Amino acid sequence: MDFELSEDQQAFAETAREFAAHELAPHAAQWDREQTFPRAAIAKAGDLGFCGLYAPEHIGGLALPRLDATLVFEQMAAVDPSTTAFITIHNMATWMLGSWGTSAVCERWGADLTSGRKLASYCLTEPGAGSDAGNLKTRAELQGGEYVINGGKAFISGAGSTDVLVLMARTGGGGAAGVSAFAVPADAPGISYGKKEHKMGWNSQPTRTIAFDNVRIPADHLLGAEGEGFRIAMKGLDGGRINIATCSVGAAQGALDAARRYLHERQQFGKPLASFQALQFKLADMATELVAARQMVRLAASKLDAGHRDASTYCAMAKRFATDAGFNVCNDALQLHGGYGYLGEFPLERLVRDTRVHQILEGTNEIMRLIVARKLLESDVDIR
């Protein structure tokens, strides 16, 4: 097994690192403080291909392996997990549209999404259907040549500021088999958006509820076939879990780097903090957890790229471990900064706030444990 990155992979990572340093790092704290959605910066990411990393080539995507995409997301998340996380969600929605959309849908939105000129939101969660996504209530009824959509979604990233909604709605009976997927214009008549939620973190991206009141879309805006929506959603979430785990790894790397610098710069009792063995031990544990999380995420991405039968299990394990470990590393880095870590002038408090939600979204870490445990108990899954 080769753990070294290829020259192409190193080049992608370096390009993302430079982009993050020049376009994200100087502004991330301000975007967080002022709750600004940086569409211009995201469009610049699109110029580099970062808005369609693994989207199909026929809509302008790079069609990269998920492993290569993690290298890009990690570099950006090291300075701005919030904006990077939105870019990962946009990538997931764009990949869904390009993979299952009709020619009309792909022609209408594909190139604009992969270039970052337009942005997409992913609409699965509902007020009464969070972890129980198969029980969603939003309904789409076929009437002639149109689907008529009624219902509501909650906790939608980018809602009110994006152009396309990749929507999961019920077209059949109860349960997962009755769910279908759609591409919906974000400004379609009958769509209304709730207030921008006041959040602990992720302030550079808006989060709102969405209401659908007799929203009409052409029948060819169905993604895949009727009844395939839940399967499409779960395929998207496998990659989404890798993406959000990668954002935790990137944030943890940024926090660790900040802590290393601070331990050399800060002096107490006449010597630098780096000379205290207890703090050395803490730093060593942080680095070990970070490396373990990174390797688990890359393993899961490799399993997904290879179409491994247990890829979903690996994605769940990676998401659970990396988001827990990433948050802990950020929190420990804040502790090493003492009172300064709590101040807005340092990046630690923002990294802690932004990574906390990673343990909740794309399936809570409790749900990740259920996925892994059920697979272990119900099948001959091989995790060796």
> Which residues does the annotation mark as catalytic?
362
Which residues does residue 271 pair with via DSSP β-bridges, in sequence order? Answer: 268
69, 72, 74, 79: CA torsion to nearest 10: -150
Tokens 């759609």 belong to residue:
182
Which CA distances in Å does 165 have to 118, 136, 293?
Answer: 11, 16, 32
Closest CA to 248 of 188, 326, 172: 326
Per-residue DSSP letter, 129: B
Question: Would you list the DSSP string of 191-258?
Answer: EEE-PPPP-SS-TTS-EEEEEEEEEEEEGGGEESSTT-HHHHHHHHHHHHHHHHHHHHHHHHHHHHHH
104-121 burial, b if ≥16 CB within 10 A, otherwise e?
ebbebbbbbbbbbbbbbb
245 and 319 Cβ atoms separated by less than 8 Å: yes
Neighbours of 349 (CB within 10 A): 20
Which residues lie below 8 Å from residue 68, measured CB to CB, with a gap of 6+? 8, 9, 12, 53
